[in-house]
Amino acid sequence: MAVIGSGIIGLATARELRRRFPRAAIAVLEKEPRIAAHQTGHNSGVIHSGVYYTPGSLKARLCREGSASMVAFCREQGVPVQVCGKLIVATEPAELPRLQALLERGLANGLQVRRLGTGEVREREPHVRVLAAIDVPSTGIVDFRQVCEALRKLMEADGVELRLGAEVRGLARADGDHLLRTSAGEVRAGYLVNCAGLHSDRLARAAGADPGARIVPFRGEYYELVPSRRDLVNGLVYPVPDPAFPFLGVHLTRMIDGSVHLGPNAVPAGRREGYHKGALSARDLAATATWPGFWRLARRYWRTGSREIWRSLSKRAFVAEARRLLPDLSPGDLEPAGAGVRAQALARDGKLVDDFLIVEAERATHVCNAPSPAATASLEIARHVVGRIPDLGQI
Ligand SMILES: Cc1cc2nc3c(=O)[nH]c(=O)nc-3n(C[C@H](O)[C@H](O)[C@H](O)COP(=O)(O)OP(=O)(O)OC[C@H]3O[C@@H](n4cnc5c(N)ncnc54)[C@H](O)[C@@H]3O)c2cc1C
Predicted confidence band of residue 262 (pLDDT cuts 50, 70, 90): very high
Q: What is the distance between the alpha carbons of residues 83 and 154, in angstroms, rounded to a whole number?
A: 24
Instruction: List alpha helices for 230-330, DSSP H.
Output: 282-289, 292-313, 315-322
The 10 Å CB-count burial string (b at 16+, else e) for 159-172 is ebebbeebebeebe
Q: What is the distance between the alpha carbons of residues 229 and 70, in angstroms, rounded to a whole number?
A: 31
Tens-place pLDDT, residues 90-118? 999 999 999 999 999 999 999 999 999 99
CB atoms near residue 23 (< 10 Å)? 8
Q: What is the distance between the alpha carbons of residues 62 and 387, in angstroms, rounded to a whole number?
A: 13
Ligand 1: which of 32, 40, 181, 359 to mutate, judged by most atoms within 8 Å of the beta carbon?
A: 40
- Arithmetic mean of pLDDT, 17-35: 97
Tens-place pLDDT, residues 166-215? 999 999 999 999 999 999 999 999 999 999 999 999 999 999 999 999 99
Using a 6 Å CB cutoff, which residues line ligand 1? 4-10, 29-32, 37-40, 42-46, 48, 167-168, 195-199, 203, 220, 264, 340-342, 370-376
Coil, strand or helix at 236: strand
Q: Give the Å distance between the CA of 39 and the centre of ligand 1.
A: 3
**Position 247 pLDDT exceeds 90:** no
**What's the pLDDT at 395?**
57
Predicted confidence band of residue 244 (pLDDT cuts 50, 70, 90): low
In terms of C-beta density within 10 A (0-12 exposed, 13-18 middle, 19 or more buried), how is residue 179 classed?
middle
Among candidate residues 34, 30, 37, the one with its CA nearest the CA of residue 13: 30
Alpha carbon separation from 99 to 88, 190, 213, 243 (Å, rounded) = 8, 48, 31, 11
Residue minimizing CA distance to atom 41 of ligand 1:
168
**What's the pLDDT at 334?**
97
Answer for the pair 270, 280: CB distance below 8 angstroms, yes or no: yes
**What's the pLDDT at 391?**
85
Alpha carbon separation from 72 to 16, 123, 235 (Å, rounded) = 16, 29, 21
Predicted confidence band of residue 333 (pLDDT cuts 50, 70, 90): very high
**Position 136 pLDDT exceeds 60:** yes
Predicted confidence band of residue 306 (pLDDT cuts 50, 70, 90): confident
Residue minimizing CA distance to atom 4 of ligand 1:
43
Tens-place pLDDT, residues 55-92? 999 999 999 999 999 999 999 999 999 999 999 999 99
Percent of the chain with pLDDT over 90: 92
Amino acid at 379: L
The arrangement of strands across the sheet holding 46-47 comes to 46-47, 140-142, 81-82
Which of these ranges, 4-13, 42-51, 302-311, has the smallest mean pLDDT?
302-311
